[in-house]
Every structure is written in structure tokens, then in C-alpha cells.
Amino acid sequence: MTENGCIFCRIARKEIPAKLVGENDLALAFWDVSPRQPLHILVIPKLHYANVAELTLNDEKSLVSVMKLASELALEHAEESFRFSFNTGAGAGQTVFHAHAHLTSQTPRSESA
Ligand code: DGP
């Protein structure tokens, strides 16, 4: 499932650049272009799902891949505490309608800051 014009699909296909930070078979991670926390990484499924509920209900393998990659990166890049969040719907602040986890932390490891 892909969507023409979806910016995160285009990043997943490596058609447009992003600062990649990790990848596995079904998920990709890159630094958020406008970070709102000292550590701010986005983790996306490579396949297109509009939000985390669509992802969860349709593709458990991609969901697990997203969460595994996000967890690995959290342990690697956050000092002690971190947050995963999925804005879902415009009213909740979602602006890119391709499912993505925000991995944020106020306490990045020094080499990640
Ligand atoms: P949300 O508001 O939850 O839909 O989050 C979308 C995030 O995606 C927002 O923090 C900014 C980020 N973003 C949007 N376009 C790009 C892009 O082209 N590259 C990167 N690296 N991040 C992007």
C-alpha cells in the first residue's frame, strides 16, 4: 500500500532525503525536521497506513517492527526517560497522514544531542 504524494512514503522509498537514524525490514527512522524536544526521532512503517490505528489493525508485523526500532533507538539515544507518541487525527495535531511514532526525550545521551 503506497500513496502518491505522501511525504513519508517518499522518504521510505529514498526519493527525498532525510537524516536516517535506523532501519529494519519494515520500518524506518529519521530525525524530525523541526524537533520539539532535545531528542526527536520519527519512526514509520515503510508501508502506508494513515495512522497508528490503521497500522495496528491491518499489519501487526509492521507495527512490531516500528515499536522494535523505536525501542532500540530509545535505549541507544535517550539517557534515562523517553516518550513514544502517535498523534492521530488533525484535532490531535497529526499533520502527516502516514503513521509515525514520535520518539522524544528531554535527556538525550550526550553524543545524540
Ligand atoms: P505530526 O504532527 O504528528 O503529524 O508529526 C509530523 C512530524 O513530521 C512533525 O514533527 C514534522 C515532521 N516532518 C514533516 N515533514 C518532514 C520531512 O520532510 N522530513 C522530516 N525529517 N520530518 C518531517
> Is the CB of 6 inside a 6 Å radius of any atom of ligand 1?
no
When divided into structural domains, the chain yields a total of: 1
Q: Measured in whole angstroms, how far is the alpha carbon of residue 8 from the centre of its chain?
A: 9
pTM: 0.96
**pLDDT tens digits, one per residue of 42-74:** 999 999 999 999 999 999 999 999 999 999 999
Examine residue 2 and state whether it is found in any structural domain, yes or no: no
pLDDT at 43: 98
Mutate to test the pocket of ligand 1, among 15, 19, 33 (most ligand atoms within 8 A of CB): 33
Ligand 1 atom showing the smallest separation from residue 19 Cα: 21
Residue 110 neighbours by CB under 8 Å, 6+ apart: none
**pLDDT tens digits, one per residue of 3-16:** 778 999 999 999 99
pLDDT at 113: 62
Measured in angstroms, how far is the CA atom of residue 17 from the centroid of ligand 1?
13
Residue whose CA is at the smallest distance from ligand 1 atom 15: 33
Examine residue 1 and state whether it is found in any structural domain, yes or no: no
Here the CATH number for the domain that contains residue 29 is: 3.30.428.10
